[in-house]
Structure formats: C-alpha cells, structure tokens
Amino acid sequence: MSKQDSDLAILSFQLGGEINVCDNNYKPYRLFIDEVHSTFFTNKRELIFQVPPVFENFRIYLSPSKFIDLLAKYHGRFSDYADKVNRSEYFNMFSSDLPITPQMKTIIREILSHKIHDTILSMVYYETKICELFGCQLEQAASATQSIVNSSVDKAKWKEAKLILEQNYMYPPSLSQLAKLIGTNENKLKSGFKQQFGHSVYNNLLHYRMAQAVKLMHNDKISLEEIAHQLGYVDSAHFSRAFKKVYDMPPGKSRELQYST
C-alpha cells in the first residue's frame, strides 16, 4: 500500500510489466500497461499496487507549483489544466495511454545516467530533460489527435469520391479532376480510396459499371450495343473486354446463362 499525502503531477513511463492500482477500498484506479506512458495529476489518496515480480516503471513527480510552471511554458495552451491543478482536481492529460517512443527512452536513459557533480547545474539539467520529455509526450498526443481528425475527414472524402463516380459512371472525371472535386491530391486519393474500399478508384468504377450492366442485361429488349452505349463505352468490344475482366466471361455468355436459369 502507498499513501499519498499531497497533490502530485506524475509523468509515468511503464517500460516493462504491468501494474494494477486500486484505491484503498479496492476500486480500480489505474492500469499501467507495458511500453506506454501517461501524465496525470492526482490528489491525496491511499493506493494498493499489484505488481509482477519483475517490472520497470520510470516516474517523474512534480509538485503542483512545478507542474503549473511546466504548463506555463506553452503560453496558455494548457491553462485549463493549470486551473484543475489549483482546484486539486484529478485529470489525465491524454485521452488514452500512448506508446513510449525511442526518443523518450533515450531521454530517460540520459536522466538515469546523469552523474551529479554540481547541484545547481544538475538541477538545471534535470529541469531541461523533464521539459524535453514532457514536450515529446505533448507532441505525440497532438499528432495522435490530428491523425484521428484527419482520418475522419479523409474517410468522408473517399465516400464523396465514390458517390461522384457512381453518379457519373457513364462519363466519370479523371483522377486529377476527382481529386480537385473533393479537395485533395491525386496520390492521396489513390492510396486512401483503396485502403477504405479495397479497390483502386478505377476498379471500383469498373465493378460499379459492370453491376449496372448485369441489371440492364435482365431486359432482353436491350441489345449489348445499347448497354455498352448506356454505360459510356464507345463500342460493344470495349464493353465486352471490361465485362470479361470482372466476370471472367463475355456479356453474351452471361446473358445466355441468365435466360437458361
């Protein structure tokens, strides 16, 4: 059991093993997972630690005033957290624990290996390293948040691109035109579209066109030449090659099978 007598900010880096922490009446408090980090502010409490035989956890403890000084270095961007510190209110700075990076491990090793020769110079050294380590955490958290935002925005763009292709499948825009229509570049469109839908832009359009062809072929009054024209092909030969690429048979054979079943 560990009793915390004062408010503290904790920069925690779980380098090995997992630690389960409960409060004094056995309610879950925190779980520190291998190879992740977090920074949180915690108030007075008694904690029970459940630890494996071997584990490695690197922590930096900061008083409320020191933590407020650290937050102040970012020119008011984290003033909400400073207000919570002043109110003695528990919080975690990050929405979820984040993976420890090689750069963070390097800084931790430098802190641990530093030999104290001059007390004042060492204090400045530690303060600099703590600021550097905290900065790495904030940068990673900001990047992770931006990735989530970008991912959401991009997914909407790929859906928009798919809709544009389906609405204009007879005379579809080129890749560069489609990219401009949804506000992105051609390379990002190609890679993002394939990742979301499992097909390239071209293959998605091809499969959609051929699905429309199959629907039209159910009407025996429409010739293959007319179907080719309705799909935007210059002649039935181009249409036939595209159809065979998707269904591994020419459209005439496919129509015969439809009528025979």
Model confidence, pTM: 0.55
pLDDT tens-digit map of 142-170: 887 766 656 777 888 899 999 999 999 98
Q: Which residues pair with 23 in a beta bridge?
A: 47
Mean pLDDT by 10 residues, the chain (261 residues): 75 84 56 81 70 82 94 89 92 85 94 90 94 94 71 85 92 91 87 84 91 89 91 90 90 79 55
pLDDT tens-digit map of 65-99: 999 999 999 888 899 999 999 999 988 888 777 89
Helix (H, G, I), strand (E, B) or coil at 260: helix
What domains does the chain contain, in order, with CATH numbers? 2-146 (2.60.120), 203-260 (1.10.10.60)
Distances (CA, A) of 64 to 4, 88, 108, 119, 255: 14, 9, 22, 22, 77
